[in-house]
């Protein structure tokens, strides 16, 4: 890999990674590496508005640029174009001298281009012609998405740090502390059983069996998390009084607070897994049509239980597969892995 030569240390840096929540959470090693290399630089993060709380408390992040994706989803219409134009003009006004696009899509490439920064870096394999927005294209060879983003940083001659640490806002920590007053004292597990994609969702009734197993094995309580919009997926499932369903009042910041001190996290391929990694919490990751070698919890291979499938012949967006691949994961395999984690926690 050839090194991108900088004429001087950058003073104003922009990192572009708007979404999705899990991707945002596992991108923090990029800003951690940049801050270590250039401690006096201002580092801003362009992030989707809804996901601000996931990175706003990170000490390497000087400021954030909020991208209101839903407001601009039809930016090409005459009535919406001015919103996008103002946003692009804002990017240019910041006068960044280094921009790194960790998203690698057409829109993020456009954002990089709009800054007019002297150095704009992204992957040579960026989709939707996103690479047109870069001054320097980096050929990435790492399979995992975190490794790919770190290769963008390494191309600058920066020594990368694989620091996944996340940080919770005080108000969210206080909220969770108040919630815990109504729960039995002691260890608790977090379950993230819902999913936007049915193909990624382990059957919720199996999550319920896993919850029962955790309670039988000494967990004092089980906390169920997910997006409020997914509440109906679990509304009638978890009825034990020791199981707290928080979906109706969950926010991104509260999700971080709940997971931060969990004794174990059980989740589908979702943001909860990457948040668990960010807080160094033990986790069990359930994967069906998505490849954990690409999008799994970073360097946590022993946490993964994956269905045995050919990834080249299936895709999670294929509605025809429903949850068929996730059903290949048996309850016994999950409870056995949870048992190993609980035993290790006692030693």
Q: What is the Cβ-side half-sphere exposure of residue 71, based on CA atoms within 13 angstroms?
A: 12
Residue whose pair of structure tokens reads 């989740």 in the numeric block: 267
| Whole-number pLDDT of residue 80 | 78
pLDDT band with cut points at 50, 70 and 90 for residue 231? very high
- Measured from the Cβ of residue 275, the count of other Cβ atoms closer than 10 Å reads 32
Task: Give the CA distances from residue 312 to residues 202, 289, 291, 309, in Å, rounded to whole numbers and listed in that order.
Answer: 21, 10, 10, 9
Q: Provide the phi-psi class of 104: left if phi over 0, else alpha when psi is between -120 and 50, else beta.
A: left
Tokens standing for 231? 């509440």
Tokens standing for 258? 């709940």
What tens digit of pLDDT does each residue of 291-322 get?
999 999 999 999 999 999 999 989 999 989 99
Tokens standing for 236? 């009638």
99 and 211, same domain (yes or no): no
Maximum Cα interatomic distance, the chain, rounded to a whole number of Å:
63
CB contact at 8 A, 67 and 79: no
Is residue 32 included in any domain, yes or no? yes
Q: What is the pTM of this model?
A: 0.95
302 and 242, same domain (yes or no): yes
Task: Give the number of domains in the chain.
Answer: 2
User: What integer best gives the mean pLDDT of the chain?
Assistant: 95
> Residue 243 above 70 pLDDT?
yes
| Whole-number pLDDT of residue 245 | 95
User: For 204-220, what is the mean pLDDT?
Assistant: 96
Domain that holds residue 302: 170-346
244 and 318, same domain (yes or no): yes
What tens digit of pLDDT does each residue of 16-60 get?
999 999 999 999 999 999 999 999 999 999 999 999 999 999 999
Is residue 267 included in any domain, yes or no? yes
| Whole-number pLDDT of residue 77 | 73
| Whole-number pLDDT of residue 202 | 98
Q: Provide the phi-psi class of 323: left if phi over 0, else alpha when psi is between -120 and 50, else beta.
A: alpha
- Which residues make beta-bridge pairs with 84? none
- Which residues make beta-bridge pairs with 98? 13, 119
Tokens standing for 89? 């003009």
| Whole-number pLDDT of residue 4 | 93
Nearest residue to 45 (alpha-carbon basis) of 31, 26, 29? 31
Q: What CATH number does residue 341 fall under?
A: 3.40.50.2000
| Whole-number pLDDT of residue 81 | 82
Tokens standing for 90? 């804002």
What tens digit of pLDDT does each residue of 158-189 get?
999 999 999 999 999 999 999 999 899 999 99
- Which residues make beta-bridge pairs with 188? 221
Among 93, 119, 154, residue at a domain's last position:
154
- Tell whether the torsion through CA atoms of 243, 249, 250 and 254 is positive or negative: negative
Give the C-alpha separation, 303 to 276, whole Å: 11
> What's the chain's length in residues?
347
138 and 179, same domain (yes or no): no
Give the C-alpha separation, 259 to 14, whole Å: 28
| Whole-number pLDDT of residue 144 | 98
Is residue 162 included in any domain, yes or no? no
> Residue 1 above 70 pLDDT?
no
| Whole-number pLDDT of residue 236 | 84
248 and 127, same domain (yes or no): no
Give the C-alpha separation, 110 to 330, whole Å: 44
Give the C-alpha separation, 102 to 24, whole Å: 9
| Whole-number pLDDT of residue 345 | 74
pLDDT band with cut points at 50, 70 and 90 for residue 347? low
Task: Give the CA distances from residue 46 to residues 12, 74, 275, 325, in Å, rounded to whole numbers and listed in that order.
Answer: 13, 19, 19, 35
What tens digit of pLDDT does each residue of 69-105 get?
877 777 667 777 888 899 999 999 999 999 999 999 9
- Which residues make beta-bridge pairs with 14? 44, 99
197 and 108, same domain (yes or no): no
């Amino acid at each position: 890999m050839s090194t991108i030569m900088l004429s001087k240390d950058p003073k104003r840096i922009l990192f572009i990674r708007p979404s999705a929540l899990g991707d945002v959470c596992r991108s923090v090693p990029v800003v951690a590496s940049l801050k270590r290399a250039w401690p006096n630089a201002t580092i801003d993060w362009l992030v989707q508005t809804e996901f601000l709380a996931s990175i706003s408390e990170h000490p390497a992040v000087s400021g954030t640029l909020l991208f209101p994706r839903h407001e601009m989803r039809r930016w090409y219409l005459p009535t919406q174009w001015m919103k996008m134009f103002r946003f692009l003009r804002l990017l240019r006004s910041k006068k960044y001298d280094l921009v790194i696009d960790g998203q690698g899509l057409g829109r993020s490439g456009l954002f990089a281009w709009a800054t007019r920064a002297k150095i704009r870096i992204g992957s040579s394999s960026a989709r939707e012609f996103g690479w047109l927005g870069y001054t320097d294209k980096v050929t990435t060879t790492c399979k995992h998405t975190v490794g790919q983003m770190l290769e963008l940083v390494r191309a600058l001659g920066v020594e990368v740090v694989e620091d996944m640490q996340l940080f919770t806002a005080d108000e969210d920590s206080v909220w969770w502390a108040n919630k815990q007053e109504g729960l039995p004292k002691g260890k608790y597990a977090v379950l993230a059983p819902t999913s936007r994609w049915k193909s990624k969702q382990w059957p919720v009734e199996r999550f319920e069996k896993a919850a029962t197993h955790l309670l039988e094995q000494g967990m004092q309580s089980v906390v169920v998390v997910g997006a409020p919009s997914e509440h109906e997926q679990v509304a009638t499932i978890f009825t034990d009084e020791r199981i707290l369903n928080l979906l109706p009042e969950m926010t991104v910041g509260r999700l971080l607070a709940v997971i931060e001190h969990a004794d174990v996290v059980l989740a589908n391929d979702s943001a909860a897994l990457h948040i668990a990694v960010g807080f160094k919490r033990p986790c069990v990751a359930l994967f069906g049509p998505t490849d954990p070698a690409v999008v799994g919890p970073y360097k946590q291979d022993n946490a993964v239980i994956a269905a045995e499938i050919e990834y080249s012949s299936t895709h999670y967006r294929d509605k025809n597969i429903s949850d068929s691949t996730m059903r290949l994961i048996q309850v016994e395999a999950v409870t056995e892995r949870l048992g190993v984690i609980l035993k290790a926690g006692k030693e």
